[in-house]
A = this chain, B = another copy of it.
Amino acid sequence: MIIYNTKNWAKAFYRILPFTKEYSSRTLNRATLIILIYNTLVTLIQKDLVKEHLEIDNIYFNFIGTVLGFVLVFRLNTAYGKWWEGRQLWGSLVNTCRTIAAYAHTVLPEKDRDQREYFALQVTNFPFALKGHLRQNFDWEDFEEPVANYKQTLQKVSHVPFRISADLNAKVESLHKAGVFSDMDKYHLARQVQQLNDIMGGCERIRNTPLPYAHSSFIKKFLIFFCAALPFGLLDSFGYSTILLASMVSYAMSALEIISEELEEPFGKDPDDLPLNQLSTTIRKNVYEILEQNRAVREVKKVDSVIVY
């Protein structure tokens, strides 16, 4: 995630520079270059070489472009909706982990250090497991071991976060059988663990479900045809200015699509993706503090490439 000052206008231009590494920035730069070359070629060839050219009025582009504009703005909103839903799910993960920790803190006898440690470690393993599951790349150093050799157990399992939530459930049941948790305690915690599963399922759904192919492919085709036809349409009215004007429109339209592509996958490692490492570490800090764990929390390494402008 990129941390920036929303109200700083001057810095909005940094991204123009070609050496930023983000997907949308890189792709947009490349697209802009292609658009510029294409428009220049079309304009020069049509203007200087071809005598008879296609008669297209710019009123026509006004209309077709407005419809394309609608489609792209709605596309952007759908993509942003997914990004925001992903953020909400992780926000909800923060709340649920804190609630489990605070509840365990309250109900567990104060001297029962082992059980408190178990909850502190297991609850805070979950966000790191979910992060690894979503990015298909586990960073085993992130994990703590509430029972001996727990990492080895996890490495053999096909669905790591589901295993952790199931183990949490089993711990609650065993403490219930031991008389530490009452019926209602068990029910309350089972609801929270179910909440963890729901968050996990929601994130999987967002990651696995892009825009349907028919929809996505239509938008790209419509966009490319539009950009390709544009310089022909503006040529008569604008002459050599066509190069600039057509490129500006094509740039704006392509940017809407490319930004949408970046936003609809919020769990990756692109700079605009969600800062899953930071969120997981925040959860660990809060939980350790409340359960009075004195273990140090590892600093977040900058794997989410947070860039502060």
Contact = CB atoms under 8 A, between A and B. Distances in A.
Given A78-B80, A166-B102, A248 B271 contact: no
Interface stretch (A23-31, A111-119, A122-130): A23-31
A62 interface: yes
A289 B159 contact: yes
A22 B67 contact: no
Contacts of A245: 56, 60
Interface in A60-103: 60-71, 73-74, 76-78, 80, 83-84, 87-88, 91-92, 94-95, 98-99, 102-103
A67 B65 contact: yes
A33 to B, nearest CB: 14
Contact of A241 (B56, B190, B215, B222): B56
Given A188-B187, A289-B157, A202 B237 contact: no
Given A12-B221, A237-B57, A162 B290 contact: yes
B56 A263 contact: no
Contact of A210 (B6, B22, B209, B211): B6
Nearest to A159: B286
Contacts of A194: 95, 99
B55 A170 contact: no
B170 A106 contact: yes
A103 to B, nearest CB: 7
B7 A27 contact: yes
Interface stretch (A41-49, A132-140, A141-149, A254-262): A254-262
* Complex A-B, nearest 10 residue pairs according to Cβ-Cβ distance, in ascending order: A12-B220, A91-B205, A95-B201, A67-B69, A2-B213, A62-B63, A106-B173, A212-B272, A70-B73, A102-B166
A184 interface: yes
A6 B263 CA distance: 11
A88 B205 contact: yes
A214 interface: yes
A63 B68 CA distance: 11
Interface centre among A77, A92, A221 (most CB of B within 10 A): A221
13 contacts: A6-B210, A15-B213, A15-B221, A59-B59, A69-B70, A87-B205, A98-B162, A105-B166, A106-B169, A157-B289, A166-B290, A184-B184, A212-B259
A186 interface: yes
A304 interface: no
Interface centre among A12, A61, A84 (most CB of B within 10 A): A12
A291 B265 CA distance: 32
Contacts of A83: 212
A218 interface: yes
Given A66-B66, A169-B103, A188-B190, A60 B263 contact: no
A91 B248 contact: no
A37 interface: no
